A and B are shown apart, each in its own frame.
Chain A
Amino acid sequence: MRLLLVEDDPRLQANLKQHLTQANYSVDAADDGEIGLFYGCEHDYDAAVVDVGLPKIDGIALIKMLRDKNVNFPIIILTARDSWQDKVAGLDAGADDYLTKPFHPEELNARLNALIRRSAGKASADITNGPYSVHTTTLEVRKRDRVISLSASEYRLLEYLMLHIGEVKSKTVLTEHIYDQDFDLDSNVIEVFIRRLRKKLDPENEFSLIETLRGQGYRMRKLEVLPGDES
């Protein structure tokens, strides 16, 4: 999952970036509203964390501008002004949730998780597809009862595909959502990760879980729920 973090305080930005990276997100950080607006319009993020008090363009205005440009990823606002009028102003401008400073980073993590799931139309923290399940808060991947261990990059790729079952995703899109902008990887890396995922999840190619569409990208197939898959 790729996140946009717009926070002007360098220490808070650094701490949050570190925390979110540990939680398996790839994070692009912006110091002010202008850079935030540029990143937001340029990349397709899975979610954004925006501080209200920003230099150049304040947080509320930034959210309004992004929404005006039809940018639809979920946005969570961070605010020190914890009056309800400020919260309402932020949410009315187009934010989806708010968090008042100071907050536990775990709380931010949980809220982001819920927002991303919600925006993908998933109500629960567990995303399932046939015998496979991904628990987005514990980052645990299972095939029926068996836990499958994945690297951070593999997990990100799987979670993204699980959140978009049935949709075709190009290598470029997948790269964007899995790495932050500082990475400049050639798209063959995605092929490598897809191969590894297939090997770990479906070694016998029993379900043809991840399909390759030549020239278009990859698609996670929607699997039927069979008796015994629900555990």
Chain B
Amino acid sequence: MKAELSDSADSVKTLSSLKTRLISSTLLLTLIFLPLVGVGLNDAFRTQMETATENELSAYVYSILAVAEVEERQLEMPEMLLEDRFNLIQSGLYALIMLDDNSAESDAKRGEIESTLGWQSNSLLGLDIPSTLPRPEPGGYRFSSHFFDQRDHLIYSFSAVFEQPDGDFPLTLHIIKDQRDMQRQIEVFRQELWTWLLLLMGFLALVQLSWLIWILRPLKSFEVELEAIQGGTATQLSGSYPAELQSVSLQLNQLLATERNQRKRYRNALSDLAHSLKTPLAVIQSQADLNKSSQEQISTIDNIISHQLSRAQSAAGSAWHLGTKVSPVVEKLRRSLAKIYADKALSISVTIDDRAVFKGDEMDLTELLGNLLDNACKAAKANVMLRVLSDDKKLEIMVEDDGDGIAQSQADQLMQRGVRTDSYDQGHGVGLAIVSDLVDSYGGAVVIGQSKKLGGARFSLSFKQS
């Protein structure tokens, strides 16, 4: 069920792509319209051929009737006809005349009348006379096809009445033509037509696809540049676009620049605030005669400032266009931590997917990883392990150490939302509270547990990627 749902969602997604729409409509035009034209042309050609044959046969009727004579109720025909094919045996063009026997009984129904062969062209010699032949009304004609001599033939039948002094002499003249020639012509035409149509279809499809690629190229580069911004490798759209996209790209650039500048100004202001609040605290704390309770108060104020400033600086709200590659950030932090913890000679092992991207701001990622790794380095005896796994759906960050670990109750308290900001756990300081807040603001999840490999604490962070 779930699979079906996702399938249909995928197909909706596919159809919502402009490119797919344009390509499918183009292909529909080529694949349906051109074959229809082909069928129509083929049909018209066949009709045309049949009409031409009908005219040809009707012309033969008149030429034969012109040479036919009836003398004393006897049909007389010349030995040879003008058209050679009537004289050549089995030439494919035949003529025969059927005489109506009962010409006197005009009342009788024509269907029951017996006909006898009055004359046949030489070309019919050696062939059986077709048994059932059409018999149109006197003066009328019929054009039909007939199976004869094991092949399809076209028959033009014409009934005529010779008026004789002793009464009418009705006869029916049949011109029979082998369809083979016509069918061959139609076949040749059909093959040529489809060959050319297929070539045309291929050519049109190619032309249309290259048009599409040309037309869609700005959209493609727009998409690529947007992905680069989301992936953190670019901060602005750079390409020049066609008029329809130009204003969108300009406004988007402006929006991105404004947002970035605002964030920068905001952070500078907060940073100055931190400086101007914390230097006096440092002055107080550096006084030689400071008592213990004052020291505690200073520490509390310091923690609150750090925590609240860090919350205020988070860019999670505008993270849609932000993407930060994880590995350079990890590399910088590893260098820094190696300096800070040089005395402990820790081994910090890092396994990281080079393509892993955090969908958010670099400062926030640095803060998250910095606090987690610092915490692990503080707790560790000799080993810290960082693993970053990433796929299309989520990003997972795992930090483990070989320290004493964290009790479950302590872990719950650490990650509890709304923990009072003035009651930081002494062992872990404000860092983990900042981590918890940041993860929350990015809609991620934190799990604290025990490291199976190293035996100390294990922090697992996971973030959705889409």
Among the stretches A89-97, A185-193, A203-211, the one at the interface with B is A89-97
How near does chain B come to A226, taking the closest CB pair, in angstroms? 28
Could you tell me if B279 and A103 are in contact, using CB atoms closer than 8 angstroms? no
A19–B366 touching, CB < 8 Å:
no
Tell me the minimal C-beta distance from B398 to chain A in angstroms. Answer: 18
Chain A residues near B271: list those with CB within 8 A: 80-81, 83, 86
Q: Which of B28-36, B152-160, B233-241, B284-292 contacts A (4 or more CB under 8 A)?
A: B284-292
Collect the chain B residues with CB atoms within 8 Å of residue A53's CB.
275, 279
If A84-B367, A85-B362 touch, whether A102 touches B281 (CB-CB below 8 Å) is yes
> B333 and A88: CB pair below 8 A?
yes
Verify B370–A84 contact, CB threshold 8 A. Answer: yes
Chain A: minimal CB distance from B316 (Å): 15
- Contact among B285, B287, B302, B366 for A88, CB-based, below 8 A: B366
The contact sample of 9 A-B pairs, CB cut-off 8 A, is: A12-B283, A15-B283, A15-B288, A80-B271, A80-B275, A88-B332, A88-B370, A91-B339, A105-B285
Does B127 count as interface, using CB distance less than 8 angstroms?
Answer: no
Interface residue B113 (Cβ < 8 Å from any Cβ of A): no
Determine whether the beta carbon of A9 is less than 8 Å from that of B283. yes
Contact with B along A90-117 (1 / 0, CB 8 A): 0110011110111111000000001000
Q: Which of A1-46 contact B (CB under 8 A)?
A: 9, 11-12, 15-16, 18-19
Quick check: is A87 within 8 A (CB to CB) of the other chain?
Answer: yes
The B contact surface, by secondary structure, is: helix
Interface residues, chain A, with chain B CB atoms under 8 Å away: 9, 11-12, 15-16, 18-19, 53, 78, 80-88, 91-92, 95-98, 100-105, 114, 118, 123
- The answer to whether B278 touches A80 (Cβ under 8 A) is yes
Asked if B274 and A80 sit within 8 Å, CB to CB, the answer is yes
Q: Are B362 and A88 in contact (CB under 8 A)?
A: no
B188 in the interface, Cβ–Cβ < 8 Å? no
A-contact 0/1 string along B52-66, CB 8 Å cutoff:
000000000000000
Verify B336–A101 contact, CB threshold 8 A.
no
- Please, how many angstroms separate the alpha-carbon atoms of A15 and B286 in the complex? 6
Q: A97-B339, A101-B278, A123-B343 are in contact. Are A85 and B363 (CB under 8 A)?
A: yes
CB distance from B166 to the nearest CB of A (A): 127
A80-B277 contact given A18-B288, A88-B336, A97-B340, CB 8 Å threshold: yes
